[in-house]
Amino acid sequence: MTTQTEKTPEIAASPSKPLISGVWMRRITALAPVWTLLALGIFFALTSQTFLRPVNLNNILSQISTLAIFATGMTFVLLTGEIDLSIAAVAALTGMISAYLFANLKVQEPIPLLVALGTGTLMGFLSGIASTRFRIPTFMSTLAMSLIAGGLTTYLSKGRTISQLPEVSVFLGSGRIGGSNGFRVLVIVAAVSLLVGYLVLKYTRFGRYVYMTGASKPAARLAGINTNVILTAVLTISGFFAGLAGVVSTGRLGSALPAAIPSFLIDTIGAVVLGGTSLNGGRGGMVQTLIGLLIYGTLRNGLDNIPSIDPLLKDVITGIVLFVALVINVLLAGRAPRDKTG
Amino acid sequence: MNAAPILQLQAISKRFGTIQALDQVDFDLYEGEIHALVGENGAGKSTLMRILSGVYTEYEGEFLLDGKPVHLHSPHDALDLGIGMIHQELSVMPELSVAENLFLGRQLTTRWGTVDWKKMHNTAEQELERLGFSHLDVRQPLGNYSLGTQQVVEVLRTIISGARVIIMDEPTSALSPAEVERLIRLIDKLRESKRSIIYISHFLEEVMRVADRVTVLRDGQKVATLNAPETNVNNLISLILGREVNATLPPAISTSNGHTLMEVNHLTADVFKDISFTINQGEVLGIYGAIGAGHFDLARALFGMYRFDTGTITVDGHRFKPNHSARYAIRHGLAFATESRRKSLLMEEAIYRNVTLPHLNRIGSLTPTQSQELKVAAPAIHMVNVQPPDPLNPVGKLSGGNQQKVAIARWLTFPPKVLVMSEPTRGMDVGAKSEVLSLLRNFRNQGYGVLVVSSEPETILTVSDRVIVMSHGHIVAHMENKDLNKDVLMRLL
């Protein structure tokens, strides 16, 4: 009853004007991922005493750093409306290649690193060629590439973990600058990846072509953009960053594993999309990806910091929160388009 | 035809805002009759058919079926009462078999509720044989057959689903001559089996062949209903246009002076055959055809957006390599705006970015800045007089006419040698139309070549120096635009 009496005069006073104007509503909804991040941060700050400690915040950064390298490449791919399902397997392969060259063939640094990065780039390029020249959907070409990369990893490693790693990998993955309590090199690598991605997307001609190809392939082609080249390029970029992430993650883990870590793929796509980059292409960017990564990291880390939560339920809760956040984002982004044929 | 009509419309009126789309129109249809409906674009044909097929439910006037008043509330109602509509764009499923398409949405089932394939195939075969299409394999996917056959299947589906009245909207525009003949034979068969057909077409020769009666609409009013044997094509054209027509054709084009900018020789693809023409400096060439004549795909082919099989394109002395890309076409002096603005412009992007998109590589640096781009785009945006003129506005917020101006401005920044425009004035009001057309004429006056491809005779006649008419994928006429008028274009279709 009371709420009704409170509301009535307001509505009567301005019958045609909603409480929040359309412009403001759009600004608020455009920032939905930021609100999600704030809400999660406040929630964990209130429920856990350890969450806000600098050590823990630092932890979040290093936890999302590997993901951030993957996500830089994935953002390019999703912006064109395509997908790359091979990143986790490519990363496993490149990590294994650099370790194998160094440990078993005694190849000098930095050749193992360069070969690994080259392999990742090449695999992305091949997926791109398969998709554009032979019109295989990227969903399938990258899935096939994932099997190939996974198989090569197994073949090369014979199922064994290699823990003798090149020093570059160790430095990039778990080194620190300025003593044992210094800044993690991994975080810097991730930040540089995101920054380069940001600059390329925002300021270069190529970046514009990526957005336009994703927004409307016919329109891009009519403007003379070779969309096949753009699609091949974004998959190549994704392959390069997957390769880098692979080398870095071996350094972080201290060993090259004989199999891919499947959660890399899901977490990467989850984080990028959560940030607000559209799966249909054309919308989003590196800033959104950064926010998506922070949401993801906050969520994963925050759950660890609440002792009363069964650790075995962590994935379930992450999944549910991801689901809810995506639904909220979609709801805030507005209703379905009027024209259902488009 | 002495019985009562099965369908009667009495004094039907329909308004859209201030526009009177239909004004007191009467129409009737007898059993076993083919009744053609003709008129210009916008004369009210489609509005009338949408009322008949239950799409528009609000109108004034009486709608009688078998002498009883009815009021349709949806297209589904219309089907239940036996009125089926065949749209210009087919609604068949190419992946499904012929039989499945014939029974789409009403598959025959066994008593267990599963699909009764045997019965469906048998019935489909019987129906096809009865109507003279026994050569179709009902188990083949429909997509394996030609467009004409697919259309026949859609007509048969409407009949099998129990339609007594079939509305055909421009059924022949995309068909080859042989397919047209086959459709006409089918229509004759339908007449024998006492079905009634409302036949809408731009092709008056065809109308004279198939129709028993013809009703002419003009500006939302019924002008006349005539018995087909008592009229002829010239008479119909003068009724459609509302004035006497000049029956002689203008003289064919003589040799033209001026430097040839574009030369197309024997260009052939699936939907157009052996197309040859030239465009001179400072000249507007118009290509006119009914929807489905192949002229829009021809325009796409010139720009590298539609694959052609043989033939050559030469622009300013440079012969294009076969199946060039759009990028290649732009680089060699060709510009193109499609008939669908929604496809060629990026609606969410700013006006200036839409203008500079094809030219980013010419702006110079690898990292174009907003000020660099604005410097290039602003004069062009100003020249075409986009309203409102703020180049930072997204294109999607502009009216159709202003969007089209952006599509033109895009090619004024780094002018091409030849500008190809499909349907430059579609869906615009009179003011916007004349603005866009005068822009094209300015372009011509500056010595560029312009190719306008359209299905709107007014547009072609207003802007062109020379006119080519295409029908069913072929060039059927090539004339200078002197004393040309709509009746000539209509007769040539």
What is the per-residue pLDDT across A113-139, written as a single tens digit (0 to 9) for each?
999 999 999 999 999 999 999 989 999
Residue B357 forms contact with A (CB below 8 Å): yes
Q: Are B453 and B420 in contact (CB under 8 A)?
A: yes
Does the distance separating the beta carbons of A226 and B346 come in below 8 Å? no
Q: Cβ–Cβ of B367/A221 closer than 8 Å? A: no
DSSP line for B68-95? EE----SHHHHHHTTEEEE-SS----TT
Mutate to test the interface with A, among B367, B395, B397, B420 (most CBs of A within 10 A): B367
Report pLDDT digits (tens) over B455-490: 888 888 888 989 999 988 899 999 888 778 878 887
CA dihedral A276, A20, A16, B400 (to 10 degrees): -30
Cβ(B325)–Cβ(A226) below 8 Å: yes
B residues 310-339 near A, CB within 8 Å?
Answer: 325-327, 329-331, 336, 338
Tell whether B343 is within 8 A of chain A (Cβ): yes
* B105-149 pLDDT tens trace: 777 777 887 888 888 888 888 888 887 777 888 888 988 888 778
SS (H, E, C) B15-37: EECCEEEEEEEEEEECCCCEEEE
Reported as type and span, the H/E element at residue A22 is helix A22-30
Q: How far apart are CA B37 and CA A27, in angstroms?
A: 52
Q: Which residue has the tokens 């990026």?
A: B346
- Of B430 and B310, more confident: B310
Name the minimum distance, in Å, from the CA of A198 to any CA of chain B: 13
On whether residue A31 sits in a domain, the answer given is no
Q: DSSP code of A83?
A: -
Least confident of A6-15, A108-117, A283-292, B461-470: A6-15
Residue A140 CA to residue A224 CA, distance in Å, equals 27
- Cβ distance A222 to B348 less than 8 Å, yes or no, reads no
Please work out, in degrees rounded to the nearest 5, the angle formed at the alpha carbon of residue B41 by the alpha carbons of B40 and B47: 110
Instruction: Choose among B153, B260, B192, B202: nearest CA to B43.
Output: B202
Mean pLDDT of chain B: 86
Q: Do B305 and A282 touch (CB under 8 A)?
A: no
Residues in B touching A196 (Cβ below 8 Å)? none
Identify the three-state secondary structure at position A234.
helix
Provide residues of A within 8 Å CB-CB of chain B. 203-206, 208-209, 212, 215-216, 218-226, 282, 342
Residue B388, preceding peptide bond in cis (omega within 30° of 0)? yes
The CB density around residue B382, as the number of other CB atoms within 10 Å, is 12
- pLDDT band (50, 70, 90) for residue A332: low
Q: What is the pLDDT of residue A65?
A: 94
Q: Are strands B196-200 and B165-169 parallel, antiparallel or unpaired?
A: parallel
Q: Which fold has domain B260-492?
A: Rossmann fold (3.40.50)
Reported as a pLDDT band with limits 50, 70 and 90, residue A3 is very low
B366: nearest CB among A204, A219, A220: A204
Distance CA A94, CA A120 (A): 6
Report pLDDT for A8.
Answer: 40
Closest approach of A336 to chain B, Cα-based (Å): 16
Q: What are phi and psi of B184, to 5 degrees?
A: -65, -40
Suggest the residue from A208, A222, A341 to mutate for an interface test with chain B (most B CBs closer than 10 A): A222
Q: Which of B338, B348, B367 sits opposite A222 (nearest CB)?
A: B338
Out of A208, A222, A225, the one facing B305 most closely (by C-beta) is: A222
Q: How far apart are CA A210 and CA B4, in angstroms?
A: 65
**Tell me, what's the pLDDT at A9?**
40
Number of separate domains in chain A? 1
| Contact predicate A209/A203, CB 8 Å | no
Q: What is the pLDDT of residue B397?
A: 83
**Chain A CB within 8 Å of residue B446 CB:** no
Tell me how many degrees the CA angle A325-A328-A332 measures, rounded to the nearest 5. Answer: 140
Find the range with the poorest average confidence among A12-16, A237-241, B56-60, B208-212: A12-16
**From the CA of A241, how many Å to the nearest CA of chain B?**
22
- As a whole number of angstroms, the distance between CA A84 and CA A78 comes to 8
- Tell me the C-alpha distance between A245 and A90, whole Å: 9
Closest-CA residue in chain A for B332? A224
B13-50 pLDDT, tens digit each: 998 877 788 999 999 999 999 999 998 877 888 889 88
- Contact state of A205 with B367 under an 8 Å Cβ cutoff: yes
Q: What angle do CA A156, A161, A166 make, to 5 degrees?
A: 85
- The answer to whether B19 contacts chain A (CB < 8 Å) is no
The Cα B322–Cα A37 span in angstroms is: 54
B30: Cα separation from own chain's centroid: 29
Q: Are A171 and A254 in contact (CB under 8 A)?
A: no
Tokens of B171: 């059924």
Count of beta carbons in the 10 Å neighbourhood of residue B300: 21
How big is the CA angle at A300 (ends A58 and A87), to the nearest 5 degrees? Answer: 95
Chain B contacts of A213, Cβ < 8 Å? none
Determine what percent of chain A is predicted with pLDDT higher than 90: 50
Residue A1 has pLDDT above 70, yes or no: no
How close A17 gets to chain B, by Cα (Å)? 22
| B257 in reach of chain A (CB within 8 A) | no
The contacts of residue B31 (CB under 8 Å, 6+ apart) are: B3, B6, B164, B194, B196
Name the phi and psi angles at B25, rounded to 5: -90, 130
Q: Is position A16 within any domain?
A: no
CATH number, domain containing residue A138: 1.10.3470
Which amino acid, residue A52? Answer: L
- For B297, half-sphere exposure in the C-beta direction (CA atoms, 13 angstrom radius) is 23
**Whether residue A7 has pLDDT greater than 60:** no
Among the partner residues A205, A212, A226, nearest to B366 by beta-carbon distance: A205
Cβ neighbours of residue B301 under 8 Å, at least 6 residues apart? Answer: B267, B269, B272, B307, B308
Distance from CA of B328 to the nearest CA of A (A): 8
Residues forming beta bridges with residue B275, ordered by sequence position: B267
Nearest CA in chain A to B303: A222
**How near does any CA of chain A get to the CA of B298, in Å?**
15
Q: Which residue of B has its CA nearest to A202?
A: B367
Answer for the pair A281, A82: CB distance below 8 angstroms, yes or no.
yes
**Among B328, B332, B343, which would you mutate to test the A interface (most chain A Cβ atoms within 10 Å of its Cβ)?**
B343
Whether residue B270 lies within 8 A of chain A, CB to CB, comes out as: no
CB atoms within 10 A of CB B244: 10
> Whole-angstrom Cα distance, residue B10 to residue B68?
12
List C-alpha distances in Å: B30 to A66, A335, B34, B38: 76, 47, 8, 18
Chain A: residue whose CA lies nearest to B359:
A223
CA A203 remoteness from chain centre = 21
Q: Do A205 and B305 touch (CB under 8 A)?
A: no
CB within 8 Å: A226 and B325: yes
Contact in structure between B293 and B470 (CB atoms under 8 Å): yes
Q: What 3-state DSSP class applies to B167?
A: strand
Strands of the B283-289 sheet, one edge to the other: B334-337, B418-422, B449-454, B283-289, B466-471, B474-480
Q: Where are the domains of chain B?
A: 7-241, 260-492
Q: Which two tokens stand for residue B158?
A: 């409407």
B466 touches B277 (CB < 8 A): no
The packing angle between helices A87-103 and A167-174, to 10°, is 140
Q: Is B292 exposed, middle or buried (0-12, 13-18, 19+ CB in 10 A)?
A: buried
Contact A218 B343 (CB under 8 A): yes
Question: At a CB cut-off of 8 Å and minimum separation 6, what does B277 contact?
Answer: B263, B264, B285, B468, B475, B478
A224 and B358 within 8 Å at the Cβ level: the answer is yes
Look at residue B193 and tell me whether its pLDDT is greater than 50: yes
Ordered alpha helix ranges (H), B332-451? 341-344, 351-356, 370-383, 400-409, 430-445
- Minimal C-alpha gap between A79 and chain B (Å): 15
Same fold, B7-241 and B260-492: yes
Is the pLDDT reported for residue A16 higher than 80? no
In angstroms, what separates the C-alpha of B130 from chain A's closest C-alpha? 37
Using an 8 Å Cβ cutoff, are A229 and A80 in contact? Answer: no
8-state DSSP, B319: E
C-alpha Rg value of chain A to the nearest Å: 22
Domain membership of residue A183 as a residue range: 47-332
- May I ask the CATH class of domain B7-241? alpha beta
Q: Does B372 touch chain A (CB under 8 A)?
A: no
d(CA A6, CA B77): 48
Q: Does B346 touch chain A (CB under 8 A)?
A: yes
* DSSP E strands, B126-234: 165-169, 196-200, 213-218, 221-227
Comparing CA positions, the residue from A306, A293, A327 lying closest to residue A45 is A306
**Interatomic CA distance for residues B187 and A179, integer angstroms:** 90
Q: Between chains, do A222 and B330 touch, taking CB under 8 Å as contact?
A: no
Backbone angles phi, psi at A274, to 5 degrees: -60, -35
Instruction: Confirm or reject contact between B416 and chain A (CB < 8 A).
Output: no
Question: Which of A60-64, A266-270, B91-95 bottoms out in mean pLDDT, i.e. has the lowest?
Answer: B91-95
By CB atoms closer than 10 A (0-12, 13-18, 19+), residue A337 is exposed
Whether the per-residue pLDDT at B247 is higher than 50: the answer is no
**Which residue of chain B has the CA closest to A223?**
B358
List of chain B residues whose C-beta atoms are within 8 Å of the C-beta of residue A224: 325-327, 329-331, 358
Identity of the highest mean pLDDT range in B166-175, B321-330, B341-350, B478-487: B321-330
Among the listed residues A251, A272, A285, the one whose alpha carbon sits nearest the alpha carbon of residue A91: A251
Query: What pLDDT score was predicted for residue A334?
Result: 54
Nearest to A219 among B346, B361, B368 (CB): B346
Amino acid identity of A243? Answer: G
Query: Which residues in chain A have Cβ-Cβ distances shorter than 8 Å to B357?
Result: 208, 212, 220, 223, 225
CA distance B238 to B216: 10
Q: Is B360 on the interface with A (CB under 8 A)?
A: yes
DSSP one-letter code for A39: H
Alpha helix (H) ranges present in B276-423? 295-302, 326-331, 341-344, 351-356, 370-383, 400-409
Contact B77, B163 (CB under 8 A): no
Burial of A157 (0-12, 13-18, 19+ CB in 10 A): buried
Residue type for A258, please? P
Summarize pLDDT for A173-219 with one digit per residue, the tens. 888 887 777 788 999 999 999 999 999 999 999 999 999 999 999 89
Mean pLDDT computed over A254-277: 89
Is the pLDDT reported for residue A141 higher than 70? yes
Size of interface A-B (CB pairs under 8 A): 57
**Minimal CA separation from B242 to chain A, in Å:** 38
Residue B91 near chain A (CB below 8 Å): no
* Cα of A82 to nearest chain B Cα, Å: 19
**Contacts (Cβ under 8 Å, ≥6 apart) of B104:** B92, B93, B96, B157
- Residue A48 banded pLDDT, cuts 50, 70, 90: confident
What's the mean pLDDT when you consider all of chain A? 86
Peptide bond into A110 cis (omega under 30): yes
State the smallest CA–CA distance between residue B124 and chain A in angstroms: 31
Residue A330 has pLDDT above 80, yes or no: no
Cα angle B281, B285, B290 (rounded to 5 degrees) comes to 165
Flag whether A19 is in a domain.
no
**Residue B246: helix, strand or coil by DSSP?**
coil
